[in-house]
Structure 1
Amino acid sequence: MQPSGTVEAVNVGRAQPLLVGGRPVASGFLKTPQTGPVQVRSAGLEGDEQADMTVHGGIAKAVYAYPAEHYPFWQTVQAQARVGLWNEAPPPGLLGENLTLRGLLESQAWIGDRLELPGCALVVSEPRFPCSKLNAALGFSQAGKMMWQSGFCGFYLAVHRPGQIAAGDAFSVLPGPREVSISELFRARRPAQPR
């Protein structure tokens, strides 16, 4: 039985300034959950913008997915860092993801696997690698290091079949060639001393 799960939230956001190292930098990191269906196009979700196409965007990185199972980890990290960005559970889209998924972790997602949803199909393409915008958005300087150490990176998806997607959609995973998993590729790229 292949992993399957649900879309907990569909999140989009327009590019806007984000303070990185005390300077405003254009970023599409900040996302807001949407109600109702959102159109999925080959370059991403309707209403979503990317400011730096080298790290998110284009055909191979059209949609960024993040496992909801990792949210308690970030809530604990936030509490220990005492940054006070949220009082209760972290909001969907916190990690800059377009899709907050439940039921598919990095160790279960392989390059080329296809997520079949009622209104579209997406293909696992590569891990997300942390950058300084993650630190800025989460409000503490060690967020990127924590992502490297935990392996809780999420993954990018290419659009196999455009259509629409909504919170509550169920998905099933159709296996690809199963040569390398998201976890394996992320670990292979991990720096010796993550920052």
Structure 2
Amino acid sequence: MVEPPPIALDALLIGSLSPIDDRGTLSGIDKHPTLDPVHLGTTGFAGDHQGDLKRHGGPDKAVHHYPRDHYQIWVDEIGSVARLQQPGAFGENISALGLTESDVAIGDRFRLGEALLEVSQGRQPCWKLNRRFDLPDMARRVQQTGRTGWYYRVIETGMVSPDDRMQRVERRHPEWTVARLWHYLYVDTLNREALSAIADLAILPPNWREYAAKRLQTRAVEDWSRRLDGESPASTPDGAVDGRDRSPPNG
């Protein structure tokens, strides 16, 4: 199969820690374009920070890519808010046109400058997007639409420049696009055949495979309320619900 042409970066972004709410919760979601080459290590770009290292960052979330293709759709839906006037609105490290969740699959490898990146997982949006956009349901909107972006792990470290182009060099599981994975995690949530395949997909991080395995065992879906809303969920004792998000998917 002939690979598509290289993709130019719209921006390469890094961020320092800053408070995101009235409690002073620190976050690195406020990222800004860099004009200089940056070293990319196994846990991310030099100078890029995450406030909650338990849920953000680490080898399987070293680099966040969010398609600039989605920005105009968001403008059409929520208005021309200031956040959407420049890349970085969603806390992404890589902004580019021409790659979306339907184009990219788990295990796809991309050469970017000296580095080699591998798609590791889709993004699971959290409540910090609500604060960033000043919309109480922004994280839910991102999850429900499937316009989540995705993460890379770093296979080979090296210098990356804003004018470098991304070239896909390998496809390991082309059948498992980020969009397809999203569909079975958030739409057709109790499809046993798909969940079994996800649980067996060794290239996924362990927690994603555990989601699938637990659903197969319990026939229920984990409650997403705390992650999406930033509040303790009113749920059953094991944190599961009846297979549905409280807000049905619309995408």
Q: 1:27 to 1:164 in 2, by over 3 A?
A: same
Q: How does 1:27-66 map to 2 (within 5 A)?
A: 27-66=27-66
When the two chains are superposed, the root-mean-square deviation of aligned CA atoms in Å is 1.9
- The corresponding residue for 1:192 is 245
The residue type paired with residue 125 of structure 2 is P
Give the whole-Å Cα distance in 2 for the aligned partners of 1:123 and 1:62.
Answer: 10
Aligned with 2:176: secondary structure? Answer: coil
Give the whole-Å Cα distance in 2 for the aligned partners of 1:147 and 1:50.
Answer: 20
How far the C-alpha of 1:73 sits from its partner, in A, is: 1.7
Please give the TM-score of this superposition, normalised by the length of structure 1.
0.88
The residue type paired with residue 38 of structure 1 is V
Residue of structure 2 aligned with 1:160, choices 144, 155, 162: 155
- The corresponding residue for 2:176 is 180
Give the whole-Å Cα distance in 1 for the aligned partners of 2:178 and 2:42.
Answer: 21
1:107 aligns with 2:117: no
Contact 1:13/1:29 (8 A) holds in 2: yes
- The corresponding residue for 1:2 is 3
Give the whole-Å Cα distance in 1 for the aligned partners of 2:136 and 2:78.
Answer: 11
Contact 1:70/1:152 (8 A) holds in 2: yes
Gaps of 5+ in 1: none
- The corresponding residue for 1:134 is 129
Aligned with 2:24: secondary structure? Answer: strand
1:74 aligns with 2:74: yes
Contact 1:9/1:166 (8 A) holds in 2: no
Contact 2:31/2:93 (8 A) holds in 1: yes
How far the C-alpha of 1:167 sits from its partner, in A, is: 1.9
Residue of structure 2 aligned with 1:96, choices 84, 91, 94: 91
Going by fraction, where is strand more abundant, 1 or 2?
1
Q: C-alpha deviations, 1:72-130, integer Å up to 9, x for none?
A: 122233317xxx435xx521111000111222111111111101123211100000011
Give the whole-Å Cα distance in 1 for the aligned partners of 2:163 and 2:40.
Answer: 16
Give the whole-Å Cα distance in 2 for the aligned partners of 1:131 and 1:194.
Answer: 15
1:14 aligns with 2:9: no
Aligned with 2:85: secondary structure? Answer: coil
Counting matched residue pairs gives 188
Contact 2:70/2:147 (8 A) holds in 1: yes
Q: C-alpha deviations, 1:132-153, integer Å up to 9, x for none?
A: 0011111211211221222110
Contact 1:11/1:34 (8 A) holds in 2: yes
Contact 2:64/2:93 (8 A) holds in 1: yes
Residue of structure 2 aligned with 1:85, choices 82, 86, 100: 82
Contact 1:75/1:90 (8 A) holds in 2: no
Query: Which one is further off, 71-80 or 123-132?
Result: 71-80
Contact 2:113/2:161 (8 A) holds in 1: no
Gaps of 5+ in 2: 187-243
Give the whole-Å Cα distance in 1 for the aligned partners of 2:8 and 2:172.
Answer: 20
Q: 1:63 to 1:194 in 2, by over 3 A?
A: farther
Query: Which one is further off, 171-180 or 35-44?
Result: 171-180
Contact 2:113/2:158 (8 A) holds in 1: no
Going by fraction, where is helix more abundant, 1 or 2?
2
